[in-house]
Structure 1
């Protein structure tokens, strides 16, 4: 158990200031979640482009049911963070729930606004960069916006597969489902956006 906690803890605390106050972390996580909401509502969702993970599932369910995407973000993510509490700690739980609440609230506030562009290249590049920057900032300062990432962390410690491999596996399934709902072109755009976003996440976490 100690080894497990050490491994997971090192993932969560990587490249972050241990001495930073909870309030400062909360401020940066607020900014990160806000960027994700902007990307989803002003670039991606209304162009039928989805992200991976719980966010992608939430977009699909929102499209099918005509309910607010923020509702699904909150409902689907919360159980994962509660399950992960014993491995990732109280701070991670509080910051992640705060991030999800901000994301859910701001996707609701931004829903009436039209998309900023319908150009597929701009949607992929701008939407992916803003999305990745928001997720990266949230992770960098101790939170998480997607329950599948938490699941990947917990699964990886009991198997030979890495966190990235689990995330990729989850998202292949999600993007595959999106083909039947939004169409092949939109699924390809979603995959390209996912690639841009994750490259941006890596950069935003590593940069000092």
Structure 2
């Protein structure tokens, strides 16, 4: 599940053939897809994603701060750590992506959810989210600090990157039961699986 995206994180040559304008445009489109998936489908239906985004949705629900604020705040320390492993380009692209995402989430917040149908929310939300995250990774950035942490931990322990990511997300989805309820947690897990599959499919044929 995480093989293709981790390969793109650790290979700094993965975006060398992209121009600055193409890379910026690709990241902006990816951010827009993520923002639309979160604000127009998932958040207002009490469905979360995994990683930092999921934690941010939970925290925003139980506090007075916005989702975009938590996504930027919680990701920043992990991205600074990732600077030493993944390079300056990765850090700059990721920080720009997070800034744009926070802004777009704020702009889309007043709009209602596109649908309340759980099947449509899971499918459309998962696909849209996965496509957006996949584009951001493809053009050299990231929105999820937990995967960066998993890369670093896996280099010092016998556990794999995938095992760490699954552990982090199990804790996040389990916690969502107490915030939103069991059914919403199940919906969130289904959305996460669809998003992960979409990410991996979108990165499968990338020239490395």
When normalised by structure 2's length, the TM-score is 0.92
- Give, in whole Å, the separation in 1 of the partners of 2:168 and 2:131: 21
2:58 alignment counterpart = 60
Deviates more, 1:176-185 or 1:77-86: 77-86
Cα separation, partners in 2 of 1:157 and 1:17, compared to 1, 3 Å: same
1:5-50 CA-to-partner distances (Å, cap 9, x unmatched) read xxx8864338934221233212101111110000000000000000
CA contact (8 A) 1:129 1:200 kept: yes
1:41 alignment counterpart = 39
Q: How does 1:116-155 map to 2 (within 5 A)?
A: 116-155=114-153
Which 5+ residue runs of structure 2 have no aligned equivalent? 1-5
Q: How does 1:61-100 map to 2 (within 5 A)?
A: 61-100=59-98
Q: How does 1:180-191 map to 2 (within 5 A)?
A: 180-191=178-189
- Give, in whole Å, the separation in 1 of the partners of 2:164 and 2:44: 28
What SS does the aligned partner of 1:125 have?
Answer: helix
Which 5+ residue runs of structure 1 have no aligned equivalent? 1-7
When normalised by structure 1's length, the TM-score is 0.92
CA contact (8 A) 2:15 2:140 kept: no
- Give, in whole Å, the separation in 2 of the partners of 1:13 and 1:24: 19
Q: What number of residue pairs does the alignment pair up?
A: 201
CA contact (8 A) 1:32 1:134 kept: yes
What SS does the aligned partner of 2:112 have?
Answer: coil
RMSD: 1.6
Deviates more, 1:162-171 or 1:178-187: 162-171
1:97-129 CA-to-partner distances (Å, cap 9, x unmatched) read 011111111010000000000000000000000
1:169 alignment counterpart = 167
